[in-house]
Homo-oligomer: A and B are copies of this chain.
Amino acid sequence: MVRCAIFAIGSELLEGSIVDTNSAWLGSRLTKAGFNVEQVRLIPDNREMIVSIFRQALNEYDCVLTTGGLGPTFDDLTAETVAEAVGVSAVLNETAKEHMINRLKNRNVTIKESHYRQAMLPEGCMLFPNERGTALGFGVEKNGNVIISMPGVPYETYLMFDEHIMPYLRSRFEMKERHSVDIRIGGLPESDVDDVLREFGFPEGLECIINVAKGEILVKLRGFDVELINEYAGRVRGRFEKNFIGFGTDGIAAVLLRTLREKGMTLSVAESCTGGLIGKELTDISGSSDVFMGGIISYSNDAKIRLLRVPENIIVNHGAVSEECARAMAIGAANQLRTTASVAVTGVAGPNGGTAEKPVGTVCIAWCVEKTVISKKFDFPGDREAIRIRTMKAALIGLNDLLKKGSL
């Protein structure tokens, strides 16, 4: 068992100006590789505090990872505190200096004295390349344990970790890879999923973890025996057949795009209360353009009428938030964008705009598949953001269900 600690450095993280996402990303990578992440901690830019935490961690953990604090400003304390904790000096590292100068030249930034601060690294440290930024990663050993420091910019750290640090860790520690299967389930409350899983009685060495994200439940099966995991993953899927979205960490957007691709279909969207969120979610995925043709954000009634050809009397008689309107929007999107499938949403995301009859959270969704239209009314809990995310997920899950099973 290789024990790890992850430290994210920077007062802005503790003050909540920035959410630390690096630690979760690293935690996920390390866990998968078989490491045990036992501590994640955010540390303010306080020299004594950082040194004392590093020292303690180097006694306790096989592997300590840090992000942040590698910049050129006086707030950036990671290199000197690592040096102090390990008991070496921070010295000008020529390789790090060269790298920094080259990067800054390419960006046409004038090099200043203060920049050199960034190349002061613990004496004798190993270096990890940074293809995306000025600060190299570095690692030092103490008591047979290792501390490795990376930049705070996720885009830089992710590549550095995958390409250089993980290979180093794998060569240093003999790891047995942890296997896991994620099973995504939609449209059921957590307690129902929990009840079913309790009956399973998973064997020793197979962990089952349930996570809930807005509108979706993620069941993770995890362990070192890949065959056992796959066997149980199949059994769990079987028990939730009707609500099964997919395996893997793919969200419903990726699953739906795959379904459409398999069937040779194309997709358009008509979005009112989500205002572009469904399109954004689909186009987050590279390569979506072969299936997703586009959409119409019909935030105003006028846009619904003119761009989507929703008959005005539908809006007058039923309101813009109605299944009738959603159905007309779905037909309009499919016609205007000439797609074989479409999805349309209209609702009250709040916090304002709710009425007794149509309170905040009322959302109508319609799906059009080969000119057949189906619609459904939802009553979503949560705030504006939660309602919009639930609407997006329900829209995509609904279409995938229609295409896979022919019904909702």
Contacts and interface: CB of A to CB of B under 8 A. Distances in A.
Interface of A: 11-21, 23-29, 31, 37-42, 44, 49, 73, 107, 109, 155, 189, 191, 194, 209, 211, 213, 218, 220, 269, 271, 273-284, 286-289, 292-300, 302-303, 306-307, 336-338, 349-352, 382-386, 388
A40 B21 contact: no
A42 B44 contact: no
Contact of A14 (B38, B289, B337, B383): B38
Nearest to A289: B299
B303 A191 contact: no
Contacts of A15: 27-28, 31, 37
Given A16-B23, A279-B276, A293 B300 contact: yes
Q: Per DSSP, are chain A's interface residues mostly helix, strand or loop, or mixed?
A: mixed
Contact of A297 (B13, B14, B209, B297): B297
A212 to B, nearest CB: 8
A302 to B, nearest CB: 7
A40 B280 CA distance: 32
A74 to B, nearest CB: 10
A349 B385 CA distance: 25
Contact of A294 (B39, B42, B298): B298
A297 B299 contact: no
Copies of this polypeptide in the complex: 2
A362 to B, nearest CB: 16
Which of A49, A211, A279, A306 lies at the interface centre, i.e. has the most chain B CB atoms within 10 A of its CB? Answer: A279
A28 B16 contact: yes
Q: Which 10 A-B pairs have the closest CB atoms?
A: A276-B279, A275-B283, A16-B28, A276-B276, A16-B27, A294-B303, A16-B24, A40-B42, A276-B280, A294-B299
5 contacts: A14-B27, A274-B280, A275-B282, A277-B283, A289-B299
Nearest to A153: B212
Given A42-B23, A277-B276, A350-B286, A17 B211 contact: yes
A356 to B, nearest CB: 18
Contacts of A271: 276, 279
A205 to B, nearest CB: 16
B218 A384 contact: no
A29 to B, nearest CB: 7
Given A194-B73, A211-B18, A276-B271, A294 B293 contact: no
A289 B194 CA distance: 40
A278 B209 CA distance: 35
Given A18-B211, A289-B300, 7 more contacts: A15-B27, A16-B23, A16-B31, A17-B28, A41-B42, A273-B283, A294-B296
Contacts of A27: 13-16
A95 to B, nearest CB: 22
Which of A25, A155, A191, A194 lies at the interface centre, i.e. has the most chain B CB atoms within 10 A of its CB? Answer: A191
